[in-house]
Amino acid sequence: MTIRTRKFLGTIALLVLVVVWSLLGMTIAQTPWLASSGLLQSIFYVVAGLGWVLPAMPIVSWMSRPDRAA
């Protein structure tokens, strides 16, 4: 697979990841046990805001691998 194809597929995967992550975050943020506590909300928003980076790192590293020598 060429780097161009990997970047295209990786971009699609990252877009899907961000959309799904944000929809799940919005769903969890509306739960009553989280909405009633300011401390839990602040912890949740920090984790939800930075947490998508961990699953995105392998995708980005896969995208940036050089092509195999022919």
What's residue 70's pLDDT? 64
* Token duo for residue 25: 């975050």
What's residue 37's pLDDT? 84
Cβ of 9: how many Cβ atoms within 10 Å? 14
Listed as ranges, residues in the chain with pLDDT below 70 are 70
Q: 19: number of CA atoms within 13 Å, CB side? A: 6
What's residue 38's pLDDT? 86
Tokens 């401390």 sit on residue: 39
Q: Rounded CA gap, 2 and 39, in Å?
A: 47
What's residue 66's pLDDT? 87
What's residue 33's pLDDT? 87
* Token duo for residue 19: 């959309």
Residue type, 46: V
Total-model pTM: 0.81
